[in-house]
Structure 1
């Protein structure tokens, strides 16, 4: 095993052992214990109210690790592995994580549309979860980023916060429902793995064009509308959407709204092998908000991505995507 993997494994072992220990000692869930273990590591001290014996055990674990030896990607990946372990034991269906390969592919697409810019790009994630996607983007996107992220789940937002601290990432992270009225400057880029389902707050949904005519509205539709409204003219939006997004009874309404406000650039279906069953399949939906200098492509890029493990097929697909961006949007 090479040195980098060994260091990453050491961090994972620290996080896993300490999270499991705090889970029992403090009567927490594993994910809550993980956030506490990460906080201890960041502060280089035991932050919990524990017995002297428990404190010494936790301090011994802390002393076994030197965070300065690890890269941000090592930290992100080790933290992500521990979060994934915790999510397997969690009962909440919304506790899920954007797969690493998808994070890296989205980073490639964001780099593609941003190009070589020296000024800071304002990026928004409407539903950050444990922060894996937004932290991957902060590590992989070449332009300087100013990042705003929202997450409504208390445990997940704490995990995202701790992961940001460990990677020394600066971002505005809000423990808030991003569909509620919010005030901040329009952003250049939105990247969000959309939650899927019904939004329970009908009085807030009533203010949206994409509200349901009867019953609860779709949270993923409302989030798309909010994101478009919060994006600058000419800005880009990348959503992970369910494959069935244009098959529901509200699909026509969604399509008309999106078409009116944006240029639909691409719908890239993720490999079916990534999902337990077809009903959970997702696609990357790429939009550009209409503006003075935006180009309406003659044809949107529609493709089914090959397995990310098939390097040759993936390389061919990326050549096709690069050619499409060059031919249709004049983006090199």
Structure 2
């Protein structure tokens, strides 16, 4: 019986990561980064391995050439291995955007960003899954990716993820709310880190800083992203449902009125989230420029479960109709 490509590649990645984990005495995620490098370079790069482990690794790698897999097969296989490692490490900041959401963000990018070549940034890139999932939906366009991530291990996994999929992405290992030395981009996507930002001195540089106490990191991430997108550029943020109901929401409203047009708010299916309180949506913004007018009406939609084909189709038709009427 023929096994599916994603399963075949995941088995290769997983089996070799386990061998390296045991031999190097590191975590599964660290071993995953090591095996990803080996797969990319088509050779075993670690010096300190026993003869037996070296032989076993070479045999597994030779049986599964990375070049025969598509970008999406590579992304999904690597994602499965990352998810396995995250379950083991259980760090709260190690969360991954669900596949269906990444693909839907890619669909929205395709509908809104009409350029054939553009620059796309994710200021909270994590392992690169959302960024590469979206880029894989835009295969006929030339996209230069930019990913920023403060966590050393996550950005290493993102870099390997991008290399294996052959995506041109520049990575910056830093706090995204520090000054960014990045040329303005055409679009931003981000699954926003939600919570308080501990650095009050840095937060003071932002209009969306809290009047007292810590500021919301997700508000500052949005302001930083708006600063770094070109006039007329689009931003697609995965946001908590209560974004406009918090005690700092008034400031956010005022900032948006000054700097962006709200294009749409799309509610993600509640079934995707553990609790109603943790449910999220997608906020679509466009940075103001003189020639632009706001949409006649904001696109508002509730996504059904992504497994419900006909209802999803209805919503996509509604989005298409809205774009035809508002984005001439």
TM-score, normalisation: structure 1: 0.95
Q: Which residue of 2 aligns with 1:133?
A: 130
Deviation at 1:7, TM superposition (A): 2.3
Q: Which residue of 2 aligns with 1:111?
A: 110
Kept in 2, the 8 Å contact 1:266–1:302? The answer is yes
Kept in 2, the 8 Å contact 1:114–1:143? The answer is no
Q: Which residue of 2 aligns with 1:65?
A: 64
RMSD: 1.3
Matches within 5 A, 1:70-85: 70-85=69-84
Deviation at 1:76, TM superposition (A): 0.6
Note if 1:9 corresponds to 2:7.
yes
Q: Give distance in 1, aligned partners of 2:280 and 2:20.
A: 35
Q: Deviations over 1:226-262 (max 9, x none)?
A: 0001111100000001111112111111111112100
Q: Which residue of 1 aligns with 2:17?
A: 19
Q: Deviations over 1:237-290 (max 9, x none)?
A: 000011111121111111111121000011111000111111221100000000
Deviation at 1:298, TM superposition (A): 2.5
2:179 to 181, 188, 209: 181
Kept in 1, the 8 Å contact 2:107–2:134? The answer is no
Number of aligned residue pairs: 326
Note if 1:43 corresponds to 2:57.
no
DSSP 3-state at the match of 2:252: helix
DSSP 3-state at the match of 2:194: coil
Q: Which residue of 2 aligns with 1:86?
A: 85
Q: Which moved more, 1:68-77 or 1:54-63?
A: 54-63
Q: Deviations over 1:63-105 (max 9, x none)?
A: 1211111111110111111111111112211101111111111
Q: Give distance in 1, aligned partners of 2:29 and 2:288.
A: 41
Q: Give distance in 2, aligned partners of 1:23 and 1:243.
A: 39
Deviation at 1:183, TM superposition (A): 2.1
Consecutive unaligned residues of structure 2, counting only runs of 5 or more, are: none
Matches within 5 A, 1:271-286: 271-286=269-284
Consecutive unaligned residues of structure 1, counting only runs of 5 or more, are: none
Q: Give distance in 2, aligned partners of 1:84 and 1:244.
A: 27
Q: Give distance in 1, aligned partners of 2:274 and 2:246.
A: 21
Kept in 1, the 8 Å contact 2:238–2:280? The answer is yes
Q: Which residue of 1 aligns with 2:253?
A: 255
Q: Give distance in 2, aligned partners of 1:20 and 1:147.
A: 31
